[in-house]
Amino acid sequence: MEWQMRAIRGATTVSENTTEAIREAVTELLDELEKRNHLQPKDIISVTFSVTRDLDAIFPAAIARTRPAWDGVAMLDVQQMHVEGSLQRCIRFLIHVYLPTSAPIYHTYLRNAANLRPDWSLPQPLPGSPQVVESKV
């Protein structure tokens, strides 16, 4: 089986700028990412998190580093460029991973962030179920 570096995108939103709300949203987002893509932390190369300017209670990478085996993953937090009228209280990620070339990719857009990429936010079956939606990557 041939493996290659792949990129996975995702995003979520939080209701308020608190450590608890951000921790809950980041945990939900990364749980869904791992589950849908059958990811193991050893296959993750790097993660870049971006947050909108209204979120500053905690770094998403600090939350991710507390996950089992994620402490060795290279991570970076940045502030998302502000565009007037854009989605508020949003956390995005770009993750580079090693995956089998034939493996479908499931981008993870949750909560109000599902509106950012409706084409990737449709309910998708888990890998291995009869109706697998192929990635656009």
Domains in the chain: ranges and CATH: 3-121 (3.30.1330.40)
- Say which residue the tokens 């193991």 belong to: 40
> From the first residue on, what is the mean pLDDT of each consecutive set of 10 residues in the chain (137 residues)?
95 98 98 95 97 99 97 97 96 97 94 88 50 36
Q: Based on the number of CB atoms within 10 Å of its own CB, is 59 exposed (0-12), middle (13-18) or buried (19 or more)?
A: middle
End-to-end Cα distance, the chain? 19
Cβ–Cβ < 8 Å for 41, 76: no
Considering only CA atoms, which of 14, 41, 38, 9 is closest in space to residue 28? 14
Q: How many CB atoms lie within 10 A of CB 6?
A: 19
Rg over alpha carbons for the chain, rounded to the nearest Å, is 15
pLDDT of residue 122: 52
Give residue 51's Cα distance to chain centre: 12
pTM of the model: 0.86
pLDDT of residue 118: 81
Q: State whether residue 69 is helix, strand or coil.
A: coil
